[in-house]
Amino acid sequence: MKYRLMTLVLTTTLLGACADEKSAPPTVEKKPVNLEIHGDVRIDDYFWLNQREDPAVIEYLEAENAYTESVLTGTSGLQERLVEEMRSRIRQDDVSAPYRHGEYYYYYRLEEGQEYPVYCRRKGSMDAAEEILLDVNKEAEGEAYFSVRGFKVSPDHKRAGYAVDTTGRRFYDLRFIDLETGQRLPDRIDDVTGNYEWAADGNTLFYVRQDAETLRWDRIYRHELGSDDDELVFEERDETFSTYVYKSVSGKFIYIASDSTLSTEVRYIQAMAPMDEPQVFLPREPEHEYSVTDGGDRFFVISNDNAQNFHVLETPLDNTAKDAWTVVVPHREDVLIEDVDVFSNHIVITGRTQGLTQMEVIDRDSRDVHLIDFGETVFEASSGDNYEFETGVFRYNYESLTTPESVYDYDLDGKRRRLIKQDEVLGGFDRNNYESERLFVTARDGAKVPVSLVYRKGLELNGRNPLLQYGYGSYGLSIDPTFSSYRLSLLDRGFVYAIAHVRGGSEMGRHWYFDGRQLNKKNTFTDFIDVSRFLIDQGYTSPEHLYAYGGSAGGLLMGAVANMAPDLYNGISTRVPFVDIVTTMLDDSIPLTTGEWDEWGDPNEKEFYDYMLSYSPYDQIERQAYPNILVTTSLHDSQVQYWEPAKWVAKLRDYKIDDKLLLLKTDMHAGHSGKTGRFRSLEDTAIYYAFFLSLEGIAE
């Protein structure tokens, strides 16, 4: 009790809390709006906050920012120390692992003090003279927000394209460089998605436009450099589908995929004949998900047709009908197949078993199979920069909770791996000072939920350890146990970090996703709560020292958990939280709504409305005590609109019966991912960490 009282006193001092008028939270006017459907009426007092251009809305958000800054003023020194600490672990002048593409080795450099990469290449070997292709730092001068994606060199290596977003709204401008002269080409394609692919001629490309209001990726265009007359190649008219382009390693075909949550349709065009009409590979079917690539002489398909965890098949180039498909890798109950890389002589299958990555190498001639041995029990691996089709080397990325991000080249015949690069963590980092483990927690319905943990060695299970528990659990996305040098700032101060691999992801197979979506969504929330209770029962932490974090759809998880089990957590933080799910899913003019119905259900149907309403964080706020809560959002977020967290915080203030912290911080210049730049983004992380540390009474 003495320890707890001392902690509370120190926390109050650190956070700068006081009773004067300056520190009082802002008030927001109630303007009730009745929202009625299925005979049910919801009264939304803060519906008016969805007017981004209303000066009163901006005034309110800025008032919340001022309040948050005043409350956290006592942590300003800690935030500065955290930023400097995290920055000091980053090697200032670094070079990415070079990869071979044609006659060149491509890589990017990071220069001391600079936020963004410099893209470069060398011809023939890394001993050749360096060519600077694009210095993003120069491009970003004077911009408060600057995001570059999709830097791609044409197949003839004479040109490069890249996409630029300066608002955070994910509307990109495609720009192009002549690599032989170093000059920017006059071509510029504004307000597109940033997803594009070069045709084989190096002069033609296919790119994707989005709907201006819903932001759904719905149209594929063809552009010839030097021409202003772009041609519409494909339009996806089904509002529940989105479309995108990609290219195989062989470079033989360009693919146009249309995806909904549970259905796919793929078209293809020969890269050497970009003016041809795209051909449908297989017409879309309900609940049939598939993806296509090629091995030069045949197509390879990942399909869930009569195979919940997917199987891999092949078919001739001139016959893509299902009855021509033959099995390469059969369906397995214990392995979820996620990706395939096809080379001239080998196939690499990336899958997942018991929540962890598995990579199988298949000889295309003999069909012999072997697994890549990664050497750890808790890790993450993924396909890397593979641009050469005629190769016996597979590049993959690897990391774990204790191993920094690493790049390996794997000899597909010799079964040997060679470390090409491992991120250097400065400041005396020693992975042997940390320990990771994998647990399985029995949920209330008997499901076994995997949990990944990392902490400094010497941990005592005495219930006094601060613990940060992270979760996501949506869209079938698996959360991997990856490394973070930033996280060391928590671990070195005694924190345990835990990832709850809850249902709604695909860690345990495709059923894990289906058991956490639509009418099974509550399993995501109860899994997270059950993991928390297990960690408390086992002495890893206690309610006084347990913290939770999740963002975007993981923010929905945080909002639900805060309503359902507020007594389990001392603090919750969430970034761009999706907390007003019913209102959003009923408004098909809001970006991305229609494509989300397969994930959450369509509330225009009463069964889905009732179920969704029963867990909606905004609608289920109760008059009860809540944990300390820090919420961050961005005014220009294209995925989760800023008004969801703003409304949530306003209503929480009105309902909660405690005097714990409730803070809202809106970045007025950023989008869904927050600040850009490798150093500026640290400021966002420092705020979260300072919030947790201060609640623990940790000032240094």
CA 513, 254, 151 angle in degrees (round to 5)?
85
The token pair at 340 is: 């395939």
Rounded Cα gap, residues 552 and 525, in angstroms:
15
- Catalytic site includes residue 552: yes
Strand order in the sheet with 264-270: 242-247, 253-259, 264-270, 279-282
List Cα–Cα distances, 425 to 85, 97, 421, in angstroms: 12, 16, 12
**Residue 297 designated active-site:** no
Do the beta carbons of residue 115 and residue 679 sit within 8 Å? yes
Three-state SS sequence of 152-172: EECCCCCEEEEEEECCCCCCE
- Residue 379: closest CA among 343, 337, 340, 431: 431
Among 263, 552, 573, 638, the one annotated catalytic: 552
Distances (CA, A) of 356 to 205, 450, 475, 508, 552: 36, 10, 18, 9, 23
Q: How many CB atoms lie within 10 A of CB 11?
A: 21
Count of CB atoms situated within 10 Å of the CB of 606: 12
DSSP letter, residue 604: T
φ, ψ of residue 119 to 5 degrees: the values are -85, 135
Q: What b/e readout covers 638-677, taking b as 16+ CB neighbours within 10 angstroms?
A: bbbbbbbbbbbbbbbeeebeeeebbbbbbbebbbbbbbbb
* Cβ neighbour number for residue 343 with a 10 Å cutoff: 21
* Pair 629, 661: CB distance under 8 Å: yes
For residue 115, give the amino acid letter.
E
Separation of alpha carbons 375 and 564, rounded Å? 40
Element (H, E) at 582: helix 581-585
CA–CA separation, 449 vs 464, rounded Å? 24
CB neighbours of residue 462 within 10 Å: 10
Residues of 30-39 as b/e, b for ≥16 C-beta within 10 angstroms? eeeeeeeeee
Question: CA 594 to CA 477: how far, in whole Å?
Answer: 19
Contacts of 613 (CB under 8 A, 6+ apart): 40, 42, 582, 603, 619
C-beta separation of 83 from 686 below 8 A: yes
Q: Cα-Cα-Cα-Cα dihedral of 563, 564, 565, 569, to 10°?
A: -40
Q: Catalytic: 672?
A: yes
Residue 36's H or E segment, with its range, is: strand 33-37
Matching residue, tokens 């995001």? 147
For every residue of 526-538, DSSP letters joined together read HHHHHHHHHHHHT
**Neighbouring C-beta atoms of residue 416, cutoff 10 Å:** 10
DSSP letters for 538-556: TTS--TTTEEEEEETHHHH
Q: What is the DSSP string of 374-390?
A: -S-SS-EEEE-----SS
Please count the other Cβ atoms lying within 10 Å of the Cβ belonging to residue 480: 22
Cβ atoms of 611 and 582 closer than 8 Å: no
Considering the candidates 637, 638, 667, 673, report the single residue annotated as catalytic: 637
Task: Please give the positions annotated as active site.
Answer: 552, 637, 672
